Structure 1
Amino acid sequence: MKLAVCGSIATDHLMTYDGRFAESLVPEELDKISVSFLVDDLQVRRGGIAPNVCFGMAQLGHHPLLVGAVGEDFAAYRSWLERHGVSCEHVHVSQMLHTARFVVTTDRDMAQIASFYAGAMSEARTIELGPIVDSVGGLDLVLISPDDPQAMLRHSAECRTRGLPFAADPSQQLNVMDGESIRRLVDGATYLFTNDYEATLTERRTGWDAQEVMRRVGTRVITRGKDGVSVLGSDAEPIHVPAVLDVHPVDPTGVGDGFRAGFLSGLAWGLGHERCAQLGAVLASYVLETVGTQEYDMSADAFLDRFERTYGTDAVAEVAPHLGSDG
């Protein structure tokens, strides 16, 4: 399966706060908020949604195409990704701007306060999918994840024009895109990825109720944290997959990206949606237990053991023959 992953490419600055943000927030004074948190740790890590997804898929044996925009400071990061099986041939390099930066502080409740500097990401709107399609002989699926909003709209419009199946993943950009833009991004998607909060926000921003969203997309995938994952299809019974057992959370940054990597890997192997969601949940659990979005260590045996503990022998029997193979 030939899959392109479009989205942000960034460096992550990850900090931890040994307290609770909620204890420093006064609800009736939020219009005058001015707070500072003394953090305990700083980790500078490779990040960005698109390479996080690509890295996760590569850990499961795939070779996805990374599509996004970076600065000239990307050289070392490119080398890391290519060593781990990610194709960076179609990454646009800006001559003027730095690679994007994500700065986030996480408190003891796993709540987060974050900022994002777009930098070179703003040039992603210049990327055309057509030459990529021609160079690789076609694409089976395009994931359109958070990126420059104009780039996201360009990619979805081009997918519709070219008849390319695509998955819409608006997530963080729901806060900056208006209703019309979100409708243009989502309409016609084969898959729509959100968490449960973003699912509600999508409906509110678009003005579409849940039924209308389902009429506009093929399959809706909603992650619900400790409550698992729901997969909803207009012509299929709803699927609910529980969260992975015995996970020891360290940092939630990139967990959703890990889930998408696992889910898309299952699709590439031709597995059903339940197995895809289970794969996503297991891979996400590795990210949750690690500081950094691409720092987890995962052997095939350990992955399958964790998979079987939560989802059983029948489920793992379907997954095991594929692990480490390229779909």
Structure 2
Amino acid sequence: MHFPGRFAEQLVEEHLDRISLSFLVDDLTVHKGGSGANIAFGLGVLGRSPLLVGAVGADFAEYRKWLEAHGVDCSAVLVCEDVHTARFVCTTDDDMRQIGSFYSGAMARSGQITLESLSGRDVELVLVGATDPDAMVSMSGQCREAGMPFVADASQQVARMHGPEIRSLVRGARFLMTNDYEWELVQQKTGWTEAQVAEQVEIRITTLGEHGVHIVARDGGELVELKVGVVPETGRVDPTGVGDAFRAGFLAATTGGLPLERAAQLGCLVAVQVLETEGAQEWKWDRDTALERLRDAYGPDAAAEIGPLLPG
């Protein structure tokens, strides 16, 4: 939904303990979403082979067809016939700030899914993303036990998770992916310093909105920092799913053998396309346009190196 105003103008600081607001919105649309599905969709569009893992309700059939048509393997999805698939209901204001509510539904059953259920599949990397917090902690632990490389991506759930849970999720990850606000919460709740986090993960990727991406990686005994700017936007339509889109582009590039800088650049390209589109999975892929935007934003070398990975 869209609220034609600014949330900030409706808040009275002295009375936040009595807040009771209803926003008259001027638009309502229903879009496909969910962090895991958004990331898998992006990976599928970019020509990778994503396997979606999660719990859904009996209402998933139509969504399954959509995802499979865009290259997503849904064979590992757990269908729970007695509940609805999780839903995020969100209102965005003119400043692109958001207030939302999340119904977990079938997501609460995701703890029933184990890494053993994926045995026999060629899994290169597991992204442990936003779902039931207990399931997230369990899955990251299973990845460590199995020696399976994984991405720790607490995303929206970092607000709900406690310090011990976040520490357990993050420990031993190949990648820790957050936005800048989530990164602050990770440090605050875990009590870890930036240096201590660096001891727990191989690579930290922090998205900074319009300021790009900050990457910190271990190189032997040294920490190497890298900053990548954004692809200039043609307009801001809807920020929902932008972080998921970055993850899709970044992971498509790293699993395709590209270095971190190029991976972040592809991530920024996919992210801006979602920002310019209403809905997290309504963006359109055009290889020629993608190469042109990469060339304009990062130069001809970047486009030349990323180009061979991009599907037609």
TM range (shorter): over 0.9
The Cα of 1:131 is off from its aligned counterpart by 2.4
Once the two structures are TM-superposed, the CA of residue 53 in structure 1 deviates from its matched residue by 0.3
CA distance in 2, matches of 1:199, 1:131: 31
Q: Give the counterpart letter for 1:324 in structure 2.
A: P
Query: How far did residue 314 of structure 1 move?
Result: 0.4
Equivalent residue pairs, number? 309
Higher mean Cα deviation, 229-238 or 274-283? Answer: 229-238
Task: Give, in whole Å, the separation in 2 of the partners of 1:300 and 1:60.
Answer: 10
2:91 to 88, 105, 123: 105
CA shift digits 1:217-240 (9 cap, x unpaired)? 000000000100011013252110
Query: Structure 1 residue 247: deviation in Å?
Result: 3.2
- Which of 263, 288, 301 aligns to 1:314? It is 301
Find the partner of 2:104 among 100, 118, 126.
118
Spell out, residue by residue over 1:41-65, the C-alpha distance to the aligned partner (whole angstroms, 9 max, x if none). Answer: 0010110000100111111111200
Aligned with 1:96 (options 57, 82, 90): 82
- Name 2:158's counterpart in structure 1: 174
Aligned to 2:210: 226
CA distance in 2, matches of 1:44, 1:131: 32
Partner of 2:56: 70
Aligned to 2:175: 191
Structure 1 residues not aligned, in runs of 5+ = 1-14
1:258 corresponds to 2:245? yes
Which residue of the partner structure matches residue 58 of structure 1? 44
Shift of 1:307: 1.1
Partner of 1:11: none
Which TM-score applies when normalising by structure 1?
0.93
Question: How many angstroms does 1:96 deviate by?
Answer: 1.3
Q: Measure, in 2, the Cα distance between the counterparts of 1:194 and 1:247.
A: 25
Mapped to 2, the partners of 1:58 and 1:256 lie a distance apart of: 16
The normalised TM-score by structure 2 is: 0.97
For the residues of structure 2 that align with 1:313 and 1:237, how far apart are their CA atoms? 24
The DSSP-based 3-state class of the residue aligned with 2:214 is strand
Answering whether residue 12 of structure 2 is matched by residue 26 of structure 1, we say yes
CA distance in 1, matches of 2:64, 2:258: 30
Is 1:283 paired with 2:270?
Answer: yes
Amino acid aligned to 1:223: T
Partner of 2:137: 153
Which runs of at least 4 in structure 1 moved beyond 4 Å after TM superposition? none
SS at match of 1:41: coil
For structure 2, list consecutive stretches of 5 or more residues without a partner in the other structure. Answer: none
Query: 1 or 2 for the larger relative contact order (CA 8 Å, sep ≥6)?
Result: 1
Which residue of 2 is the match for residue 35 of structure 1? 21
CA distance in 1, matches of 2:25, 2:50: 36
Equivalent-residue separation in structure 2 for 1:160 and 1:268 (angstroms): 19
